[in-house]
């Protein structure tokens, strides 16, 4: 290491103390600003004082590291100092301090050494103004290194997970990209753009909308931007190095000194291999073509667009020409599953997602009661009177108030729209309004002056009329409604329109459709944008035989509210009446195609509700003639597919799904129908179902490229844990959280390989059926080569233990030829097999998600795959080898690990939030199959195919006291950075095991300092 600027320190017998040179880096920062940075976790404090200057009772900044000039002069090359420096490299800001904080203090000297000798960014270096003395005078928190306050700050500032950063790549021709004040695209645009090339820190990510804090470049310091827009990437994730843990100790086992052989030929453990294909770049795919499926490519809706996200493309089938495919130690046994219901064959269309409605059936007339959120079948008789809109007490604007939007400048298109106040931000004074209309859950935030309160008058006569209508006293109801019009509705359009509508319903029920039509017209005149008024007109016109006029009225109703059963049904019935005398299929096809073409035009122009109406007409024209006619059946499929696209644009996912299913029914082998179904699944957050649906579509004629692009979006949605299926499984997290800390013991094992000979199966089945009935077992991967082998092993363990937690290893992810994985279950890739494992575990009671298994005791399975980011000292690159070629990773071998890291991140944050809320870490146990830290030896396995070092940050993030891993078949323990890392593999180096093999006991009332083996009998 180079000498620091200035002379040696007097404290070390030198002539004068070290001082900073005049141009030393390190801007002075006030204590108030530094305190805020520490609270935010955006800086790392460094105590530059010597040990003799510090008060042992506690006078450090929260979370501060210690790096002084003594370290620099006499131990700069030591591992301890090197680790501290590497930690500082990853910090957003570094604030150095001594007692006084004067310009010539040692802080400047240290800053200059860090910048000049160790390459730390100069713009990240700061010095604390007035030093520690000034900090104390201002009353900011002090702490002792290692106490609770210090640990909380350390976790937040440098020891916990690092924040995600992004580089702005869009807007180069415009000086940057647009920044808005809120997540909605309708929120106000800020005056400045965020410059192209700027680096920002992620604060929040919702779909394709990113809330950021600017780290470099120019533009607003914070705000909301889009990371992708209409197929164009605006921001890319930036790889940020994670700091290494500090104060690591040597391995405690003699096995730690075993050299890792570089040749895979001598490796004894299972390990995933690296293909020679480069990592896939993070880019967003363009939307698929076709909006009318055979028409304008600019008007289609893609699942990627619907989800508002980007995804790396899938690699498809990797080219392994000329490479040696290697799969280590294939099992000698298979377990055929006779239960055909366990997992559907992957060459069959994916089954429907749970709790998803089918398209509502259609009838002659709409229900007059305001529709619920879920579509319901209409009734075939004239309907009841409309309920009055909910009135707000007095004239106070608040949650639940009905309002009209007015005076907006940035979104003038919303002026005149009606909505309901659903939230209020007291700090900004703005109200969040859910708008009425065709789009699903459309919201906007408004100032009070842009909201006009809608309050309909109370009318006792109307209430009496409603009662008479329901009891069948129709003439009396008519009389009461007319009285209400004269006495209560003068000057009140809301009440007047409702009364005319109810009169129309009463006359229709009496069969007087001319009178009903006149009342419906009056309702429309008072409220032209009220769909129910138009539907009342449509019903009366239909009953009077004026079918073309009825069709026009129903078109207006559908345009205003496209997801009301009765409006769709009325439009369809009016159309059928118009064309009921047309028996020529060719003529019907030609007429239907005209409406379909107009629907495509409307879809392309953004008038999605009109598109729904026009596609509905096309369907109504062609459906009666389509039975037995294959060509017309495909036309039905096209029209349904197009209407599904329109519903998707409106974010009406249940309707989009129902039309996608209708398209599939009409044309079962048409890939577009499955794309529509997948898009609807994705819109409902059913990412797992969407992914499998897109994969199925990729095998159909013409669907390969487009379907794989959409599958990539669904694939990267899965680890967000947003699907109803995943959320349901998370519910097990707290089922035992109330139990005392000594309720159960926890045991661990890895690399059982239950299909490697009858002796292994005999060992498993011979485990005591009583000893572990109240206990927990962690299985750290490589349970079997096939799905049925893994299932068999977990079922055996579940009979012996109260709870069984499992993570898959590389063998578990294989799809071996000539096994049921490839012949019966037909997994298309290893992700599909993984999803099937989640389903299987749910069925048999095993678990792959974390849980609080006792009070403040957390078991955290960490899913993993090997990463080429760390090769280790024994790495010997050989791109001619493809390890674990039985695995099929859709994102590519060298990108798969990122998927698993993303999956784990959700649960790490969940545990951290609980720990933060409770103010204590508790006891956390993590486990994975692959090696989570580079200090662990790989024995005979190649380094390139053994490490998943991204897991280390997650292990430390939950404060794990112990981590169990597998893979290398070397039983050993090591304490590194305060965490005990332990392996306890059933199989030895040559896939043999002792008949009396034991479990490893790691918890009994507390984490055991020295885990020990425990007999299974």
SS (H, E, C) 448-460: HHHEEECCCCCCH
Which of 203-217, 267-281, 442-456, 979-993 has the least mean pLDDT?
Answer: 267-281
Note whether 177 and 192 are within 8 A (CB).
Answer: no
**Residue of 753, 764, 808 whose CA lies nearest to 992:** 753
What angle in degrees, to the nearest 10, is found between the helix axes of 460-470 and 474-487? 170
H or E stretch covering 789: helix 787-800
Six token digits for residue 850: 């974390």
631 CA to centre of own chain: 41
Phi, psi of 464 (to 5 degrees): -65, -35
CA distances (Å), 299 to each of 287, 289, 291, 649, 697, in order? 10, 8, 5, 10, 21
- Gap between the Cα atoms of 889 and 832, Å rounded: 10
Note whether 127 and 107 are within 8 A (CB).
Answer: yes
- Gap between the Cα atoms of 683 and 658, Å rounded: 13
* pLDDT for 531: 92
- Gap between the Cα atoms of 515 and 517, Å rounded: 5
Note whether 830 and 809 are within 8 A (CB).
Answer: no
- Gap between the Cα atoms of 28 and 105, Å rounded: 12
984 CA to centre of own chain: 34
**Residue of 320, 309, 321, 326 whose CA lies nearest to 273:** 326
Residues in contact with 762: Cβ distance below 8 Å, sequence separation at least 6, in sequence order: none
* pLDDT for 979: 95
Phi, psi of 926 (to 5 degrees): -110, 155
Sign of CA dihedral 524, 530, 534, 537: negative
Q: How many CA atoms lie within 13 A of 273 on its CB side?
A: 29
When mean pLDDT is compared over 141-150, 309-318, 872-881, the highest value belongs to 141-150
* pLDDT at 721 exceeding the cut of 70: yes
* pLDDT for 273: 27
* pLDDT for 21: 61
- Gap between the Cα atoms of 894 and 869, Å rounded: 9
Which of 426-440, 767-781, 811-825 has the least mean pLDDT?
Answer: 426-440
Residues in contact with 575: Cβ distance below 8 Å, sequence separation at least 6, in sequence order: 551, 616, 617, 620, 621
Which of 155-164, 301-310, 931-940, 986-995 has the least mean pLDDT?
Answer: 301-310
Kindly compute the dihedral angle of the four CA atoms of residues 918, 924, 929, 930, in this order, to the nearest 10 degrees: 80
Note whether 224 and 210 are within 8 A (CB).
Answer: yes
Which of 16-25, 498-507, 516-525, 689-698 has the least mean pLDDT?
Answer: 16-25
H or E stretch covering 679: helix 671-683
- Gap between the Cα atoms of 526 and 494, Å rounded: 8
Note whether 829 and 890 are within 8 A (CB).
Answer: yes
Residue 491 confidence class, pLDDT cut points 50, 70, 90: confident
- Gap between the Cα atoms of 440 and 423, Å rounded: 17
- Gap between the Cα atoms of 701 and 680, Å rounded: 21
Where is pLDDT greater, at 198 or 843? 843
Which of 404-408, 452-456, 794-798 has the least mean pLDDT?
Answer: 452-456
Per residue in 89-132, pLDDT (tens digit) is 778 899 999 988 877 778 988 988 888 778 788 888 999 998 99
Phi, psi of 29 (to 5 degrees): -125, 140
Where is pLDDT greater, at 441 or 444? 444
Six token digits for residue 102: 């004067």
Residue 703 confidence class, pLDDT cut points 50, 70, 90: confident
H or E stretch covering 112: helix 106-118
Per residue in 615-665, pLDDT (tens digit) is 999 999 999 999 888 889 999 999 999 999 999 999 899 999 999 999 999
Note whether 971 and 989 are within 8 A (CB).
Answer: no
**Residue of 819, 791, 767, 841 whose CA lies nearest to 331:** 819
* pLDDT for 348: 63
Six token digits for residue 14: 């030198």
Which pairing describes strands 999-1004 and 851-854: parallel, antiparallel, or unpaired? unpaired
- Gap between the Cα atoms of 611 and 11, Å rounded: 82
Sign of CA dihedral 664, 667, 668, 670: negative
SS (H, E, C) 653-670: HHHHHHHHHHHHHHCCCC
Which of 710-714, 724-728, 883-887, 919-923 has the least mean pLDDT?
Answer: 883-887
- Gap between the Cα atoms of 369 and 387, Å rounded: 7
Residues in contact with 452: Cβ distance below 8 Å, sequence separation at least 6, in sequence order: 403, 404, 405, 406
Residues in contact with 586: Cβ distance below 8 Å, sequence separation at least 6, in sequence order: none
**Residue of 30, 52, 55, 43 whose CA lies nearest to 142:** 55
SS (H, E, C) 255-321: HHHCCCCCCHHHCCCCCCCCCCCCCCCCCCCCCCCCCCCCCCCCCCCCHHHHHCCCCCCCCCCCCCC
Kindly compute the dihedral angle of the four CA atoms of residues 956, 960, 961, 962, in this order, to the nearest 10 degrees: -100
Residue 435 confidence class, pLDDT cut points 50, 70, 90: confident
CA distances (Å), 442 to each of 624, 646, 653, in order? 36, 16, 14
- Gap between the Cα atoms of 641 and 637, Å rounded: 6
- Gap between the Cα atoms of 725 and 539, Å rounded: 42
DSSP code string of 471-540: TT-HHHHHHHHHHHHHHT-TT-HHHHHHHHHHHHHHHHHHT-HHHHHHHHHHHHHH-TT-HHHHHHHHHH
CA distances (Å), 555 to each of 413, 504, 607, in order? 21, 19, 13
* pLDDT for 252: 27
Burial class (CB in 10 A: 0-12, 13-18, 19+), 697: buried
- Gap between the Cα atoms of 645 and 303, Å rounded: 10
* pLDDT for 454: 82
Task: Name the DSSP letter for residue 938.
Answer: -
Note whether 287 and 870 are within 8 A (CB).
Answer: no
Where is pLDDT greater, at 159 or 320? 159
* pLDDT at 7 exceeding the cut of 60: no
* pLDDT at 5 exceeding the cut of 70: no
What mean pLDDT do residues 363-376 have?
27
Note whether 687 and 725 are within 8 A (CB).
Answer: no
SS (H, E, C) 899-922: HHHHHHHHHHHHHHHHHHHHCCCC
Phi, psi of 505 (to 5 degrees): -65, -40
Phi, psi of 1013 (to 5 degrees): -75, 155
- Gap between the Cα atoms of 340 and 787, Å rounded: 14
* pLDDT for 664: 95
- First-to-final CA distance of the chain: 58
Grouping H, G, I as helix, E, B as strand and the rest as coil, residue 700 is: coil
- Exposure pattern of 33-70 as b/e (b: 16+ CB <10 Å)? ebbebbebbbbbbbbbbbeeebeeeebbbbbbbbbbbe
Task: Name the DSSP letter for residue 422.
Answer: E
């Amino acid at each position: 290491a180079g000498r620091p600027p200035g002379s040696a320190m007097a404290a070390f017998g030198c002539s004068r103390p070290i001082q900073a040179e005049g141009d030393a880096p390190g801007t002075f920062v006030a204590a108030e600003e530094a305190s805020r940075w520490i609270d935010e976790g955006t800086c790392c404090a460094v105590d530059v004082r010597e040990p003799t200057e510090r008060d042992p009772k506690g006078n450090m900044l929260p979370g501060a590291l210690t790096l002084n000039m003594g370290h620099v002069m006499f131990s700069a090359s030591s591992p301890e100092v090197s680790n501290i420096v590497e930690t500082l490299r990853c910090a957003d800001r570094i604030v150095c301090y001594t007692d006084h904080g004067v310009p010539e203090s040692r802080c400047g000297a240290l800053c200059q050494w860090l910048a000049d000798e160790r390459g730390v960014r100069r713009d990240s270096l700061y010095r604390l103004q007035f030093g520690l003395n000034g900090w104390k005078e201002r009353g900011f928190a002090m702490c002792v290194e290692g106490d609770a306050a210090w640990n909380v700050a350390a976790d937040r500032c440098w020891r916990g997970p690092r924040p995600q950063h992004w580089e702005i790549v869009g807007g180069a021709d415009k000086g940057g990209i647009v920044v808005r004040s809120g997540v909605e695209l309708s929120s106000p645009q800020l005056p400045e753009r965020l410059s192209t090339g700027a680096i920002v820190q992620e604060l929040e990510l919702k779909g394709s909308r990113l809330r950021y804090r600017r780290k470099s470049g120019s533009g607003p310091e914070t705000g909301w931007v889009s990371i992708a827009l209409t197929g164009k990437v605006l921001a890319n994730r930036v790889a940020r190095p994670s700091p290494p843990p500090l104060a690591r100790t040597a391995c405690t086992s003699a096995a730690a000194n075993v050299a890792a052989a570089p040749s895979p030929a001598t490796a004894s453990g299972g390990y995933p291999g690296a293909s020679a294909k480069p990592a896939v770049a993070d880019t967003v795919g363009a939307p698929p073509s076709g909006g009318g499926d055979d028409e304008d490519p600019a008007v289609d809706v893609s699942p990627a667009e619907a989800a508002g996200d980007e995804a790396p493309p899938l690699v498809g089938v990797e080219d392994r020409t000329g490479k040696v495919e290697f799969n280590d130690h294939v099992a000698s046994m298979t377990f055929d599953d006779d239960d055909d219901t366990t997992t559907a064959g992957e060459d069959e269309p994916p089954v429907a997602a749970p709790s998803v409605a089918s398209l509502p059936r259609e009838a002659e007339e709409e229900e007059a009661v305001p529709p619920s959120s879920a579509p319901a079948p209409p009734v075939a008789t004239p309907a009841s009177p409309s309920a009055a809109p909910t009135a707000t007490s007095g004239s106070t604007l608040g949650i639940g108030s009905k309002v009209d939007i007015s005076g907006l400048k940035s979104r003038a298109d919303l002026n005149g729209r009606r909505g309901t106040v659903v939230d209020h931000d007291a700090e900004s004074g703005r109200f969040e309004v859910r708008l009425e209309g065709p789009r699903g859950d459309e919201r906007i935030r408004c100032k009070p002056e842009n909201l006009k309160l809608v309050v309909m008058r109370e009318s006792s006569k109307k209430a009496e009329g409603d009662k008479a209508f329901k009891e069948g006293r129709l003439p009396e109801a008519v009389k009461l409604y007319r009285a209400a019009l004269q006495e209560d509705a003068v000057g009140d359009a809301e009440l007047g329109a409702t009364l005319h509508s109810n009169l129309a319903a009463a006359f229709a029920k009496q069969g007087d459709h001319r009178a009903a039509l006149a009342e419906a017209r009056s309702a429309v005149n008072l409220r032209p944008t009220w769909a129910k008024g138009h539907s009342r007109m449509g019903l009366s016109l239909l009953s009077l035989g004026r079918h073309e006029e009825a069709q026009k009225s129903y078109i207006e109703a559908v345009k205003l509210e496209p997801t009301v059963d009765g409006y769709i049904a009325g439009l369809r019935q009016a159309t059928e009446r118009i064309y009921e005398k047309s028996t020529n299929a060719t003529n019907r096809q030609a007429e239907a195609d005209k409406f379909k073409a107009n629907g495509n035009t409307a879809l392309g122009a953004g008038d999605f509700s009109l598109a729904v109406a026009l596609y509905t007409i096309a369907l109504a024209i062609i459906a009666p003639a389509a039975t037995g006619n294959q060509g017309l059946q495909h036309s039905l499929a096209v029209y349904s597919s197009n209407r599904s696209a329109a519903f998707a644009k409106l974010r009406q996912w249940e309707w989009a799904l129902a039309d996608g299913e209708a398209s599939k029914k009409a044309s079962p082998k048409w890939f577009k129908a499955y794309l529509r179904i997948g898009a609807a699944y994705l819109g409902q957050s059913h990412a797992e179902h969407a992914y499998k649906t897109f994969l199925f579509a990729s095998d159909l004629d013409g669907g390969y490229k487009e379907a794989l692009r959409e599958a990539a979006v669904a694939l990267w949605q899965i680890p967000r844990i947003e699907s109803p299926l995943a959320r349901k499984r998370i519910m097990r997290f707290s089922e035992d959280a109330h139990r005392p800390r000594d309720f159960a013991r926890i045991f661990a094992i890895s690399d059982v390989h239950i299909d490697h000979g009858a002796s292994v199966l005999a060992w498993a089945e011979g485990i005591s059926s009583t000893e572990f009935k109240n206990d927990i077992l962690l299985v750290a991967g490589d349970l079997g080569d096939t799905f049925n082998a893994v299932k068999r092993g977990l079922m055996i363990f579940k009979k012996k233990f109260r709870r069984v937690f499992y993570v898959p290893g590389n063998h578990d992810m294989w799809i071996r030829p000539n096994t049921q994985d490839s012949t019966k279950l037909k997994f298309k890739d290893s992700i599909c097999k993984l999803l099937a494992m989640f389903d299987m575990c749910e069925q048999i009671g095993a678990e792959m998600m974390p849980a609080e298994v006792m009070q403040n005791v957390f078991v955290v399975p960490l899913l993993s795959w090997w990463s080429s980011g760390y090769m280790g000292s024994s790495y010997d690159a050989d791109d001619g080898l493809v390890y674990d070629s039985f695995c099929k990773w859709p994102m590519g071998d060298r990108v798969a690990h990122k998927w698993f890291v993303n999956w784990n991140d959700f649960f790490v944050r969940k545990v951290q939030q609980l720990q933060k809320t409770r103010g204590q870490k508790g006891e956390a146990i993590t486990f994975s199959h692959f090696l989570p830290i580079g200090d662990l030896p790989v024995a005979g396995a190649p380094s390139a195919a053994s490490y998943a070092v991204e897991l280390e940050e997650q292990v430390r993030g939950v404060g794990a006291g112990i981590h169990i891993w597998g893979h290398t078949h070397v039983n050993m323990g090591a304490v590194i950075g305060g965490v005990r890392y332990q392996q306890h593999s059933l199989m030895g180096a040559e896939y043999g095991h002792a008949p009396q093999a034991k479990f490893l006991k790691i918890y009994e009332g507390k984490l055991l300092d020295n885990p020990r083996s425990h007999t299974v009998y």
